[in-house]
């Protein structure tokens, strides 16, 4: 039996194509032009859509610059908690039933953070989750980092996350982290960010002697064991000492921080680019800086969390360890978030599995922006582009969609409706050509808890380099997208 609805729709379509009905108004359009307008997509630069948007986006990104100056997960948490408290958030009290509008947070070991605003609807109807990560690729110190060679002192490193090692030589570096001293006290380290501070560097071979080096593949031009940070060259004034430069550095560290060499074994120290976030381009429409993967999504999520007036309870997550697989008790592959949510919903008499199956998560992480200098690595029709808005990624992973969350059509449809209703400009994108590589996010760890999950972020140029680039308008549009998601009354 034929479906009469199908016949009706087919007849209507034929009439439309034939030019029947009331589709012509204003300037006369050809049948093809009208059909093209109604059926095909057309991507516009945000500056063409709204020439006034850059001013709003630039204002929004001034706060982002300040946020981006926090270059480790510990610094992001230390920066965010006072802001939360100033906006009425308190520390979570286990077992307490919070009323609508209540705001609270959980600080997990100073390295990850969970923020909540209780919505007007019952928790039993599900949560609206935005999860980003606040760690970035860097050079971590080895447990015994300090050594001297030919009257030069160095720190040895083990790189953290996916980097092109050659990009980290001859770049001014700053040192960040914490050291637990012998007496159990904690001392913080942050050297190289203030104008009067010294900076540090990984050296490289001069081109005059680099004939053999330049024959190597890019992955071998500089090896991991050559990523040694130059930290001093002046000797300690004592002829009876064998490692004079090392001792001089050690004495300076002890004088300023109380650090002995063995204290490095109970420390978390790293080197990151010493660049400050800066406007980029004559039009100042872009922002350059280290760590935008994933601070850009963390900031947009945080601002949406602070500004939300939600129907459903919002949960904003800052996770650690994403760049190295999300493992550990501060990573998203731990039980930390689920344990907290179990405590939260049990106060309302709910089972966590029932709440999670009704919940939706935006995995807020960046995507690769199309770069015409390397266009052969991208598939143009499914790439994301600077200045075209927030980018929604149905899936990430590597060739064959391995190691990914692949959002359902229903989840994509829900987010599409929310963003379109709010007037948010967005695009879709995947991470380059299918066989060229790939990458992952925390989405698959969220969806493992039976939460409908989809990735959203902004396109980034030079991702994972010491100096990443984003569009200010995209950053602002991502904030609007997450805010719309938080405030939408739409159900699954």
pLDDT average, residue stretch 248-262: 95
Position 5 pLDDT exceeds 70? no
pLDDT average, residue stretch 484-489: 98
For 297-308, the pLDDT digits (tens) are 999 999 999 999
Reported confidence tier of residue 412, pLDDT bands at 50, 70, 90: very high
pLDDT at residue number 19: 47
Of 2-6, 103-107, 290-294, 458-462, minimum mean pLDDT range: 2-6
**Closest listed residue to residue 352, CA positions, set 361, 364, 344, 360:** 344
DSSP 203-266: ----GGG-TTGGGS-HHHHS-GGG-PEEEE-PPPS-TT-SSHHHHHHHHHHHHHH---GGGGGG
For 307-316, the pLDDT digits (tens) are 999 999 999 9
Gap between the Cα atoms of 473 and 477, Å rounded: 6
Q: At what angle do helices 73-86 and 292-307 cross, to 10 degrees?
A: 10
For 16-36, the pLDDT digits (tens) are 444 444 444 456 889 998 998
β-pairing, 360-364 vs 367-368, is unpaired
Position 1 pLDDT exceeds 60? no
Residue 110: enclosing H or E segment and its boundaries? Answer: none
Give the chain's mean pLDDT: 93
Gap between the Cα atoms of 480 and 459, Å rounded: 16
Strand-pairing partners, residue 177, are 189, 269
Strand-pairing partners, residue 360, are 128, 452
For 211-253, the pLDDT digits (tens) are 999 999 999 999 999 999 999 999 999 999 999 999 999 999 9
pLDDT at residue number 438: 87
Gap between the Cα atoms of 483 and 308, Å rounded: 6
pLDDT at residue number 26: 53
For 140-153, the pLDDT digits (tens) are 999 999 999 999 99
For the chain, domains (ranges, CATH) are: 48-136+290-487 (3.40.630.10), 138-273 (2.30.250.10)
Beta carbons within 8 Å of 15's beta carbon, 6+ residues apart? 21
Gap between the Cα atoms of 419 and 217, Å rounded: 44
Reported confidence tier of residue 399, pLDDT bands at 50, 70, 90: confident
For 111-137, the pLDDT digits (tens) are 999 999 999 999 999 999 999 999 999
Beta carbons within 8 Å of 357's beta carbon, 6+ residues apart? 126, 450, 451
Residue with tokens 């100073």: 110
Query: Which DSSP state fits 200?
Result: B
Position 11 pLDDT exceeds 80? no
Residue 425: enclosing H or E segment and its boundaries? Answer: none
For 156-199, the pLDDT digits (tens) are 999 999 999 999 999 999 999 999 999 999 999 999 999 999 99
- Preceding amide of 294 cis, omega within 30: yes
pLDDT at residue number 24: 46
């Amino acid at each position: 039996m034929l479906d009469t609805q199908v016949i009706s729709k087919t007849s209507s379509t034929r009439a439309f194509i034939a030019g029947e009905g009331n589709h012509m108004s204003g300037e006369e359009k050809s049948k093809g032009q009208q059909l093209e307008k109604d059926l095909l997509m057309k991507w516009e630069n945000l500056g063409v859509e709204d020439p006034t948007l850059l001013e709003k986006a630039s204002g929004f990104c001034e706060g982002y610059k300040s946020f981006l100056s926090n270059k480790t997960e510990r610094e992001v948490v230390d920066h965010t908690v006072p802001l939360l408290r100033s906006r009425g958030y308190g520390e979570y009290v286990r077992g307490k039933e919070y009323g609508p509008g209540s705001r609270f947070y959980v600080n997990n070991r100073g390295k990850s953070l969970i923020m909540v605003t209780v919505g007007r609807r019952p928790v039993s109807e599900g949560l609206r989750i935005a999860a980003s990560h606040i760690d970035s690729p860097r050079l971590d110190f080895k447990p015994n980092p300090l050594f001297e060679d030919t009257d030069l002192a160095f720190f040895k490193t083990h790189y953290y996350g996916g980097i092109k090692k050659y990009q980290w030589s001859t770049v001014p570096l700053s040192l960040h982290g914490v050291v637990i001293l012998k007496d159990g006290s904690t001392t913080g380290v942050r050297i190289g960010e203030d104008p009067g501070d010294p900076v540090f560097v990984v050296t490289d071979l001069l081109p005059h002697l680099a004939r053999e080096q330049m024959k190597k593949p890019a992955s071998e031009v500089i090896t991991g064991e050559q990523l040694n940070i130059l930290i001093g060259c002046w000797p300690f004034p004592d002829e009876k000492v064998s490692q004079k430069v090392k001792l001089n550095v050690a004495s300076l560290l002890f004088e300023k921080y109380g650090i002995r060499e063995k204290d490095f074994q109970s420390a978390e120290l790293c080197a990151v680019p010493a660049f400050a976030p800066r406007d980029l381009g004559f039009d100042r429409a872009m922002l350059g800086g280290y760590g935008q993967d994933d601070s850009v999504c963390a900031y947009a999520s945080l601002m949406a969390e602070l500004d939300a007036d939600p129907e459903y309870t919002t949960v904003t997550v800052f996770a650690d360890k994403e760049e190295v697989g999300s493992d550990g008790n501060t990573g998203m592959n731990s039980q930390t978030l689920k344990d907290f949510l179990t405590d939260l919903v049990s106060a309302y008499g709910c089972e966590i599995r029932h709440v999670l199956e009704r919940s939706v998560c935006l995995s807020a992480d960046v995507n690769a922006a199309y770069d015409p200098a390397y266009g052969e690595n991208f598939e143009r029709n499914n790439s994301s582009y600077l200045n075209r808005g927030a980018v929604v990624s149905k899936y990430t992973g590597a060739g064959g969609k391995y190691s990914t969350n692949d959002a359902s059509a229903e989840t994509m449809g829900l987010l599409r409706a929310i963003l379109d209703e709010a007037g948010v400009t967005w695009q879709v994108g995947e991470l380059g050509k299918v066989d060229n590589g790939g990458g992952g996010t925390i989405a698959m760890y969220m969806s493992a808890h039976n939460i409908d999950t989809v990735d959203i972020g902004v396109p980034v140029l030079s991702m994972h380099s010491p100096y990443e680039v984003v569009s200010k308008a995209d950053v602002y549009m991502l904030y609007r997208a997450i805010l719309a998601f938080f405030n939408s009354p739409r159900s699954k």
